[in-house]
Structure 1
Amino acid sequence: MKLRGLFILAVTLLVPAIASAQEVRLQAIFGSSAMFEVDGKQRLLKSGKTSPEGVTLVSVTNDHALVRIDGREQKLTLAAPVAANYAKAERAEVRLNPDSRGHYSTTAWINGRRVNVMVDTGATSIAFNYPTAKSLGLDLSRARPMTVSTASGVEKAYRLQLASVTIGGITVHNVEATVLGSDFPTVTLLGNSFLSRVDMQQQDGLLLLRARN
Structure 2
Amino acid sequence: MHNHLILLLVASVAALAAPSLFERYEARLSSGQPEALDRGPDVVEAAAPPPVLPRETRISADWSGHFRTDALMNGRSIPVLVDTGASLVALDETTARQLGITPAASDFRHSVQTANGVGRAARARIDVISVGSVSVRNVDALVIRDAELPQALLGMSFLTRLKGYSVEDGRLTLKD
Secondary structure at the counterpart of residue 200 of structure 1? strand
Q: Which has the higher helix share?
A: 2
Corresponding residue for 1:110?
Answer: 73
Contact 1:145 1:158 survives alignment (8 Å): yes
Whose Rg is larger?
Answer: 2
Corresponding residue for 1:91?
Answer: 54
1:136 equivalent among 91, 99, 114:
99
TM-score normalised by structure 1 residue count: 0.53
Q: Which has the higher strand share?
A: 1
**Whole-angstrom CA distance in 2 between matches of 1:150 and 1:186:** 10
Corresponding residue for 2:137?
Answer: 173
Contact 2:88 2:140 survives alignment (8 Å): yes
Corresponding residue for 1:193?
Answer: 157
Taking only aligned residues, the RMSD between alpha carbons, in angstroms, comes to 2.1
- Amino acid of the residue matched to residue 101 of structure 1? S
Q: How many residues align?
A: 125
Corresponding residue for 2:64?
Answer: 101
Contact 1:143 1:160 survives alignment (8 Å): no
Corresponding residue for 1:125?
Answer: 88
String of CA shifts for 1:166-202, please: whole Å, max 9, x gaps.
Answer: 1111110110101112323211110000011111012
CA separation of 1:152/1:103 partners in 2, compared to 1, >3 Å: closer, same or farther? closer
Corresponding residue for 1:29?
Answer: none
Corresponding residue for 1:183?
Answer: 147
**Whole-angstrom CA distance in 1 between matches of 2:88 and 2:135:** 16
Corresponding residue for 1:47?
Answer: none
Corresponding residue for 2:119?
Answer: 155
TM-score normalised by structure 2 residue count: 0.64
**Whole-angstrom CA distance in 2 between matches of 1:205 and 1:152:** 27
Secondary structure at the counterpart of residue 95 of structure 2? helix
Corresponding residue for 1:207?
Answer: 172
Corresponding residue for 1:24?
Answer: none
**Whole-angstrom CA distance in 2 between matches of 1:185 and 1:92:** 31
* Structure 2: 5+ residue stretches without partners: 1-49
Contact 1:144 1:160 survives alignment (8 Å): no
* Structure 1: 5+ residue stretches without partners: 1-85
**Whole-angstrom CA distance in 2 between matches of 1:194 and 1:143:** 22
In percent, how many aligned pairs have the same letter?
A: 36
Secondary structure at the counterpart of residue 94 of structure 2? helix
